[in-house]
């Protein structure tokens, strides 16, 4: 009994498409895992959300960009960042809504300080930053986010 070897030719284009398909499934699976654990402090900031710091050499200050992702407040109309740096004034630092639904604002803070803050969503709900430098208990029974510059 003879076994006939396969002589089927593969189309290089089909092979490339198959590889792309497998690669996109892997990427989607990895993205799903990372977004499912987003509130944890150990999650890497891959989405651009959270806090970005740019230290300025000229005056010893730090430009801090706060970013709240759409997932944290999908139906929000107005979000402000409220904290030690603006005397917890709920109207002092409004955030701008981006095209992708995230909210962002940049403030200058003195280098070498630690500042408590939270996001106020539609004047009624408080949210912490998922990528804060730390969390500190507050007098209301919750935690405040902490940014260290």
Tokens 């106020």 found at = 120
Task: Please compute the mean of the pLDDT values over residues 20-24 and round it to a whole number.
Answer: 40
- In this predicted model, what pLDDT tens digit does every residue of 26-50 receive, in sequence order? 333 333 333 333 332 222 334 456 8
DSSP the chain: -PPPPP-PPPPHHHHHHHHHHHHHHHHHHHHHHHHHTTTSTTS---SS-EEEEEE-TTTSEEEEEEEE-GGGSTT-S-EEEEEGGGTT-TTTSBPEEPTTS-EEEEEEEETT-EEEEEEEETTTEEE--TT-SEEEE-TTSSEEEEEE-
Exposed (0-12), middle (13-18) or buried (19+): which is 126, by Cβ within 10 Å?
middle
What are the residue boundaries of the structural domains of the chain, listed by start? 11-40, 50-148
Average pLDDT value over all residues in the chain:
77
- In this predicted model, what pLDDT tens digit does every residue of 113-147 receive, in sequence order? 999 999 999 999 999 999 999 999 999 999 999 99
Q: How far, in Å, CA of 15 to CA of 86, rounded?
A: 58
For position 19, what pLDDT does the model report?
A: 45
Furthest-apart CA atoms within the chain: distance in Å? 88
Task: Please compute the mean of the pLDDT values over residues 6-16 and round it to a whole number.
Answer: 48
For position 20, what pLDDT does the model report?
A: 43
For position 50, what pLDDT does the model report?
A: 82
Closest among 140, 142, 145 to 129, alpha carbons compared? 145
84 against 56, higher pLDDT: 84
- In this predicted model, what pLDDT tens digit does every residue of 49-68 receive, in sequence order? 689 999 988 888 999 999 99
- Topology classification of domain 50-148: Immunoglobulin-like (2.60.40)
For position 48, what pLDDT does the model report?
A: 55
- In this predicted model, what pLDDT tens digit does every residue of 88-108 receive, in sequence order? 999 999 999 999 999 999 999
For position 30, what pLDDT does the model report?
A: 36
């Amino acid at each position: 009994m003879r076994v006939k070897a396969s002589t089927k030719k593969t189309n290089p284009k089909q092979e490339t498409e198959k590889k792309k398909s497998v690669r996109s499934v892997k990427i989607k699976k990895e993205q799903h895992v990372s977004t499912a654990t987003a509130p944890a402090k150990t999650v890497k900031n891959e989405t651009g959300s959270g806090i970005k710091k740019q230290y300025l050499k000229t005056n010893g200050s730090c430009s801090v960009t706060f970013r709240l992702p759409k997932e944290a407040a999908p139906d929000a109309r107005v979000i402000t960042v409220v904290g030690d740096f603006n005397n917890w004034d709920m109207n002092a630092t409004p955030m701008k809504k981006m095209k992708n639904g995230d909210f962002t604002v940049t403030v200058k803070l003195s280098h070498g300080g630690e500042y408590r803050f939270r996001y106020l969503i539609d004047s009624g709900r408080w949210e912490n930053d998922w990528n804060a430098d730390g969390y500190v208990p507050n007098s209301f029974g919750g935690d405040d986010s902490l940014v260290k510059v």
